[in-house]
Amino acid sequence: MKFIKDIFEKTHPLVQKGAKYQWLHSVHDGFFTLFFVQKNTSKSGTHIHDYIDLKRTMGMVVLALVPALLFGMYNIGYQHFIAIGELASTGFFEIFLYGLIKVLPVVVVSYVTGLGIEFVFAQIRGHEIQEGFLVSGMLIPLVMPIQTPLWMIVVATAFAVIIGKEVFGGTGMNIWNPALVARAFLFFAYPAQMSGDSVWVSLKGSDKLIDGYSGATPLAEAAAGKINFSVADAFFGFIPGSIGETSTLAILIGAVILIVTGIGSWKIMVSTVAGGAVMGIILNIFGGDNVFMSLPFWQHMIIGSFAFGAVFMATDPVSGAQTEKGKWIYGFLIGIMAILIRVLNPAYPEGMMLAILLLNTFAPLIDHYVVAGNIKRRLKRAVISRQTAN
Amino acid sequence: MSETIKLRKGLNIKLKGSSKAEIETLPVPHTIALKPTDFPGLTPKLMVKPDALVKAGDALFFDKYHPEIIFAAPYGGRVISVNRGERRKILEVVIQTDEKAGSVDFKKIDPGSLTGDEIKELLLKSGMWPLIKKRPYGIIASPGEKPNSIYISTFDTAPLAPDYSFVLKNEMGTFQTGVNVLSKLTAGKVNLGVTPGSPFAAIKNVVVNTFEGPHPSGNVGIQIHNTSPINKGDVVWTINVQDVLFIGRLFETGKVDFSKIIALTGSEVENPKYYKTVLGTPVSSITEGKLQKPDYKQRIISGNVLTGSRIKIQNYLNFYDQQITVIPEGDEYEFMGWADPGFNKFTASKAYFSKLFPKKEYVLNANLHGGERAFVLSGQYEKFVPMDILPVHLLKAIMVNDIDKMEQLGIYEVIEEDLALCEFACTSKVKVQEILRDGINVMIKELG
């Protein structure tokens, strides 16, 4: 350890302002702080500080995403071998390995692109590398269909980091969740590659498909008026879909990690699910004969990206509501809008992404009214105390 | 007896090194000092020259903008130096103590026989006035104001704080006298914040408010907010428990007696206990020979770890402080510290395994444990502020210098100590107390 520290300390003067390798400052600093918690001590205010920092926080979120990632890898292989009819003759590790080989490049490309841009911005702005992208870099691959070309991942990530985050001032300042900005960018710029039946399962042109294979997600099928997924498959995640979104179980494990460590807001998760359930029930009651509307409300939670969005996207503390009361309203409206868009809008097969982006936009407004409520309460208190005093 | 007010929000930080219930009386130190820098916003004007002989209670300097407020020598002797900093700012007025100098005699008097104005005059003349602070802003009270009420918190919930029911156990009578004096200064009542079963509940001539809950429930600001919150235009005066004793002694004996009990605490102290000494004592007179001698650096704090100020061993104890805390400096690199399971890492969050051992006492150092960032997480601060206040929104209003919003969001109700836990717990290492003091200074400047 001392050896690594010595390297960092020795090279430290070389990257200072005016020194030869000044342009490497943010890179040096980024890796130094990653390997070593710095020796800076408190200069003003409290003398002791909590051991938690943004690296720990973001590290925990990445950890919570790992079950969804690992299962996603397995499922990519699983769907592939179903499509070509060789599932029965393929072993567990072979299935996983197939998925790993397919998914890993997406993850690497996302991180390299995003972190590269972050380093450049940190260097230009002269501040430390901020950890926000550690999570965004993992979220971006998990919300992409497996067939998305890597160059699109690069373009989308660059768009998300620059337009979605850095133009607002970096981590903590952005209005929308950067990973969703990436997803939305691709969805509207390259709709053919981001939707339809052929993007969810990893296949090559030479692969021979089994008869009658469609590759459509349960969501798309439901929208088309036929419901033929098994609840168990949908819950465990053996269905086509974006890389990390299919397994409700893996997402729930992540949710438990986020809630136990107190890093994700349970209020947002609960209220999102509640909002989705309420909308689902309303549609069940008034939907009549429409197949999708009469889908039992709780089944909405296990298909599409509802669970993934509720646990990992809606809970983004920067783009979500920041007051405690606001979180309940924010989550609830995401749930309502997600199901509403999903079922009633023919143009978009999934409503979660748009619902979250919409409520990201409105989160400051929700907070504004919560803060205004606080101010009003305080003013009222002043009036009452004046009256009793007189 | 009023009902107990239960506060749920907050956090008790359990540190190693709390004082055991034992008081050692120290000899009078060779030098003592009064530091104008202990009073936020004060512009001092000197009234003595080096070499002057002073008695305890003689004025050393006064407030340029309130000339009636004088700052008195805590102990008699000879003024040996006036130490100045940049731009000749007065840092400390140092007195070489002399037992024979004695105290100014203000005549022993029954507070009951005096009017409020007479009491005020005596407190100003004897240099007791700076002990009284006011909310809003937490600065020295203005003698011209009419406070709604006076608040005293009789317990301190900050980490390793002294136990006042132990410190005052032989001087409850004097405390009562002090309270009687203070009750003459307000048309309202003197309010005592106590814990359930506290001996202070027996004090008369006061409203007793009982509080239960973690830190910051012992902060007087929290107690005011939860009994009769400060609105725009209101003024409430506050005073520390031991400072009430100084006033009580003045009326009981006619003499100025600034002896006070200081708790020496912290993980770096060999045998933490209480020491009886005089206000303005040098830190070394208390700490000398009582600290461990490790090979790493130590940090000495006048006050507690949340709100105290860093101080050198050759400095003098701050005016209002009742405690010295010594912790490791912690200016060392830690390999991959953020990825550690953290069985020994105390946290207000739940992100380290230390959360599983709530009863353990921890050694915390002064390391920041991370880099400074913009506000990222939400809902973190609210857990530590048992008030109907949105701390993050208040801080953001201060950062953008929006005076209307600061006022609406409660800047009159809080001072640094009330939000100190937020700074401790902050993931982004935001300097909460510094920002808040900046905001308060803006308010003082703009609105007076």
pLDDT in tens, A3-13: 777 877 777 77
3-state SS assignment for residue A177: coil
Look at B306 and A40 and tell me if their CB atoms are within 8 Å.
Answer: no
Strand partners, B95: B32, B79
Best of B369, B399, B421, B436 to substitute, by most chain A Cβ atoms within 10 angstroms, is B369
Look at A48 and B337 and tell me if their CB atoms are within 8 Å.
Answer: no
3-state SS assignment for residue A99: helix
Cα end-to-end span (Å), chain B = 38
Tens of pLDDT along A72-126?
A: 999 999 999 888 888 888 889 999 999 999 999 999 999 999 989 988 888 888 7
Whether A378 has its CB under 8 Å from any CB of chain B: the answer is yes
Who among B310, B346, B432 is closest to A47 (CB)? B310
Label residues A354-377 b or e (16+ Cβ within 10 Å = b). Answer: bbbbbbbeebeebbeebbeebbee
Identify residue A357 by its one-letter amino acid code. L
The crossing angle, in degrees rounded to 10, of helices B432-447 and B391-399 is 60
Who among A36, A49, A377 is closest to B388 (CB)? A377
Look at B429 and A48 and tell me if their CB atoms are within 8 Å.
Answer: no
Q: How far apart are CA B197 and CA B201, in angstroms?
A: 7
Look at B347 and A51 and tell me if their CB atoms are within 8 Å.
Answer: yes
What region does A85 belong to: left with phi over 0, alpha with psi -120 to 50, or beta? left
Of B168, B195, B420, B173, nearest to B308 (Cα)?
A: B420
CB under 8 Å to A282, separation ≥6 — which residues? none
What does the pLDDT read at residue B29? 94
Look at A265 and B378 and tell me if their CB atoms are within 8 Å.
Answer: yes
Q: Which two tokens stand for residue B344?
A: 């020994």
Mean pLDDT along residues A22-46: 80
Q: Which residue of B has its CA nearest to A377?
A: B388
292-321 in A: which are within 8 Å (CB) of B? Answer: 317-318, 320-321
Cβ pair A65, A313 in contact under 8 A = no
Q: Which helix (H) or strand (E) holds B260?
A: strand B259-265
Cβ pair B209, B138 in contact under 8 A = no
Q: Which residue of B has its CA nearest to A320?
A: B378
- Rg, C-alpha atoms of chain A: 23
Please report residues of A whose CB lies closer than 8 A to that of B428.
54, 172
Integer CA distances (angstroms), A307 to A138, A139, A181, A240, B178, in order = 17, 14, 18, 15, 63
Query: Tokens 């590759």 identify what position?
Result: A215
Identify residue B88 by its one-letter amino acid code. R
Whether A364 has its CB under 8 Å from any CB of chain B: the answer is no
Q: Which two tokens stand for residue A387?
A: 């009256």
Q: What is the 3-state secondary structure (H, E, C) of A107-125?
A: HHHHHHHHHHHHHHHHHHH
Query: Tokens 């209020």 identify what position?
Result: A267
Look at B232 and A171 and tell me if their CB atoms are within 8 Å.
Answer: no
Distance between B407 CA and the closest CA of chain A, angstroms: 9
Q: What is the DSSP letter of B28?
A: P
Best of A42, A62, A323 to substitute, by most chain B Cβ atoms within 10 angstroms, is A42
Please report residues of A whose CB lies closer than 8 A to that of B426.
49-50
Task: State yes or no: cis peptide before B216, omega within 30 of 0.
Answer: yes
Distance between A372 CA and the closest CA of chain B, angstroms: 9
Look at A44 and B434 and tell me if their CB atoms are within 8 Å.
Answer: yes
3-state SS assignment for residue B278: strand
Q: Which residue of A has its CA nearest to B430?
A: A45
Distance between B304 CA and the closest CA of chain A, angstroms: 9
Q: What is the DSSP letter of B426?
A: -
Who among A51, A170, A262 is closest to B346 (CB)? A51
Look at B376 and A378 and tell me if their CB atoms are within 8 Å.
Answer: no
Q: Count the neighbouring beta carbons within 10 Å of the beta carbon of residue A330.
A: 27
Look at B390 and A323 and tell me if their CB atoms are within 8 Å.
Answer: yes
Whether A188 has its CB under 8 Å from any CB of chain B: the answer is no
Best of A3, A4, A47 to substitute, by most chain B Cβ atoms within 10 angstroms, is A47
Mean pLDDT along residues A181-199: 85
Please report residues of A whose CB lies closer than 8 A to that of B350.
260-262
DSSP string across B164-219:
HHHHTTT-HHHHHHHHHHHHTT-SS-EEEEE-TT-GGGG-SSSEEEEEESSTTTTS
Mean pLDDT along residues A321-334: 94
What does the pLDDT read at residue A386? 62
Look at A262 and B350 and tell me if their CB atoms are within 8 Å.
Answer: yes
Who among A41, A262, A317 is closest to B349 (CB)? A262
Look at B299 and A47 and tell me if their CB atoms are within 8 Å.
Answer: yes
Integer CA distances (angstroms), B19 to B16, B133, B160, B194, B272, in order = 10, 27, 7, 20, 5
Cβ pair B146, B184 in contact under 8 A = no
3-state SS assignment for residue A11: helix
Q: Count the neighbouring beta carbons within 10 Å of the beta carbon of residue A163.
A: 16
Look at B378 and A377 and tell me if their CB atoms are within 8 Å.
Answer: no
Please report residues of A whose CB lies closer than 8 A to that of B308.
47
104-143 in A: which are within 8 Å (CB) of B? Answer: 128, 130-132
Distance between B131 CA and the closest CA of chain A, angstroms: 22
Q: From the centroid of its chain, how far is CA B200?
A: 19
Who among B229, B351, B390 is closest to A263 (CB)? B351
Q: Which two tokens stand for residue A312?
A: 């990992």
How many CB pairs lie under 8 A apart between chains A and B? Answer: 213
Integer CA distances (angstroms), B429 to A283, B301, B372, B377, B436, in order = 46, 20, 5, 11, 14
pTM value is 0.90
Identify residue B371 by its one-letter amino acid code. G
Q: Where are the beta strands (DSSP E) in chain A?
A: 36-37
Q: Which residue of B has its CA nearest to A132?
A: B376
Look at A171 and B373 and tell me if their CB atoms are within 8 Å.
Answer: yes
Q: Which residue of A has its CA nearest to B389?
A: A374
Tens of pLDDT along A40-59?
A: 888 888 999 988 888 888 98
Over chain B (448 residues), what is each successive 10-residue block's mean pLDDT? 84 92 94 94 92 93 94 95 92 93 89 91 94 93 93 95 94 95 93 94 93 94 93 93 95 93 94 94 92 89 93 92 92 78 81 78 86 83 92 94 92 93 92 93 88
Complex ipTM: 0.89
Of B354, B355, B353, B398, nearest to B375 (Cα)?
A: B398
Q: Which helix (H) or strand (E) holds B72?
A: strand B66-72
Please report residues of A whose CB lies closer than 8 A to that of B388.
374, 377-378
Identify residue B61 by its one-letter amino acid code. F
